[in-house]
């Protein structure tokens, strides 16, 4: 076919397999006349595609295939990758005033925090160089592990101590994690109250925690005449001056029983509800009752819940190099634990000692009550909002100006 690059080929009307060579300079001129001469009239005679164009198409197809194979090779070799960064929940840090405390150089240094949860998986790079004391109450593992159907404990730990991407709010605390909950037959994380109680006692007696963080809770039974073992363990801790921060629960809305979760019902516990990015109460955040089982009324600063903190679509650490989004009062609890850690670093006189009782907790909770962002100027406490929204810097400032009451 050499020499035909500059001509067009016109098929015969009776047999399209027969082609006539046409000077390409005539293509597009006097089409009607050409159709009549070649027998196509009244239809227009249309040249077939030139062979050189077909060759070009084949060549381009081969080149494209080679390009695809090269890209696949480079992709698989790891020399080229496209990484879409996961989102962040920086709004939670900003709303709660953590940046201001970080600017003061506070990071939780010297504060011992004990979490009771599903455990912790340290495979996420955000936990690189993290030193954690691990206690397994449901298995026999000597190294950190997360037993959760969803790695709940890993998520909660990341809010506090992550050192990458979404940074933890108190990254330099001394952290202990007790695995007391695990996956059940309903694909939920659960555990026995006695196991939780043993874990709380371990946090106090063995680890000597300054703060026990409980992103967990059970249903209150107002008909019980004796308190459960987890409540007894928490009472013992707070009466010894150890701060306990606990989740209010996630049964808000139409099915809310009007009671915070156990052991968040204990007076000196800081019980935490969840807030949203729009600074409202999260729909499923549990309300509290200000009436005790014996008919007495709760007194300030121990009305339930005490505070709300960010708890909607919070980004935190997953297993491996993954980041999860979660919502609930569990997340909110850790934000308050983190703020309290920064405060105890700044004001170590409020840490528990062997002679402590609960008066230091009362003083810190009073400062929380006064510093929280109120939802309504006409109200001191609301059954869902508590005393208001966590404002870590304002909490610090109030303690700074408050004479220690312990």
Query: In the chain, what are the domain boundaries?
Result: 1-48, 90-400
C-alpha span between 145 and 70 (Å, rounded): 41
Residue-level pLDDT at 258: 87
Residue-level pLDDT at 41: 56
- Residue 277 φ/ψ, nearest 5 degrees: -65, -30
Domain 90-400 falls under CATH 1.25.40.10: no
C-alpha span between 355 and 165 (Å, rounded): 41
Task: Give how far Cα 237 sits from Cα of 117, 354, 361, Å.
Answer: 17, 12, 11
C-alpha span between 41 and 35 (Å, rounded): 5
Q: Which residues contact 255 (CB under 8 A, 6 or more apart)?
A: none
Residue-level pLDDT at 80: 40
- pTM value is 0.79
Residue-level pLDDT at 62: 60
Residue-level pLDDT at 31: 58
Residue-level pLDDT at 261: 94
Residue-level pLDDT at 57: 46
On whether the CB atoms of residues 290 and 256 are closer than 8 A, the answer is no
Residue-level pLDDT at 227: 79
**pLDDT tens digits, residue range 265-288?**
999 999 999 999 999 999 999 999
Residue-level pLDDT at 235: 97
Residue-level pLDDT at 303: 97
**pLDDT tens digits, residue range 53-63?**
444 444 555 66
C-alpha span between 160 and 366 (Å, rounded): 24
- The list of the chain residues with pLDDT below 50 reads 29, 51-58, 71, 74-83
């Amino acid at each position: 076919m050499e020499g035909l690059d500059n001509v067009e080929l016109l098929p015969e009307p009776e047999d399209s397999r027969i082609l006539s060579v046409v000077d390409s300079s005539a293509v597009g001129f006097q089409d009607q006349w050409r159709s009549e001469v070649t027998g196509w009239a009244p239809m227009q005679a249309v040249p077939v595609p030139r062979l050189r164009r077909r060759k070009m198409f084949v060549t381009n197809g081969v080149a494209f295939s080679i390009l695809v194979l090269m890209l696949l090779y480079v992709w698989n070799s790891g020399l080229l990758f496209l990484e879409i960064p996961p989102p962040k929940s920086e709004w939670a840090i900003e709303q709660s005033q953590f940046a201001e405390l970080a600017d003061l150089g506070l990071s939780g240094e010297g504060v011992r925090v004990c979490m009771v949860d599903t455990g912790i998986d340290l495979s996420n790079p955000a936990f690189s160089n993290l030193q954690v004391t691990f206690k397994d109450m449901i298995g026999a593992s000597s190294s950190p592990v997360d037993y959760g159907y969803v790695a709940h404990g890993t998520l909660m730990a990341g809010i506090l101590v992550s050192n990458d991407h979404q940074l933890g709010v108190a990254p330099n605390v001394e952290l202990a994690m007790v695995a007391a909950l695990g996956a059940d037959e309903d694909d939920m994380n659960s555990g026995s109250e006695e196991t939780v109680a043993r874990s709380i006692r371990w946090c106090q007696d063995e680890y000597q925690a300054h703060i026990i963080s409980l992103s967990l809770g059970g249903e209150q039974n107002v008909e019980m005449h004796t308190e459960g073992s987890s409540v007894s363990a928490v009472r013992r801790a707070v009466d010894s001056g150890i701060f306990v921060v606990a989740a209010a629960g996630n049964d808000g809305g139409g099915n809310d029983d009007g009671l915070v979760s156990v052991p968040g019902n204990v007076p000196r516990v800081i019980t935490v509800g969840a807030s949203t990015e729009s600074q409202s109460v999260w729909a499923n955040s549990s309300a509290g009752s200000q009436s005790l089982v014996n008919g007495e009324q709760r007194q300030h600063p121990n009305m339930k819940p005490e505070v709300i903190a960010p708890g909607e679509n919070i980004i935190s650490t997953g297993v491996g190099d993954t980041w999860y989004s979660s919502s609930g009062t569990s997340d909110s609890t850790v934000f308050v634990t983190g703020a309290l850690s920064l405060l105890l670093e700044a004001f170590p006189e409020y840490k528990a000692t062997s002679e402590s009782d609960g008066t230091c907790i009362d003083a810190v909770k009073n400062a929380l009550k006064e510093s929280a962002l109120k939802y309504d100027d006409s109200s001191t406490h609301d059954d869902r909002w508590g005393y208001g929204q966590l404002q870590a810097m304002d909490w610090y400032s109030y303690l700074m100006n408050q004479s220690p009451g312990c």
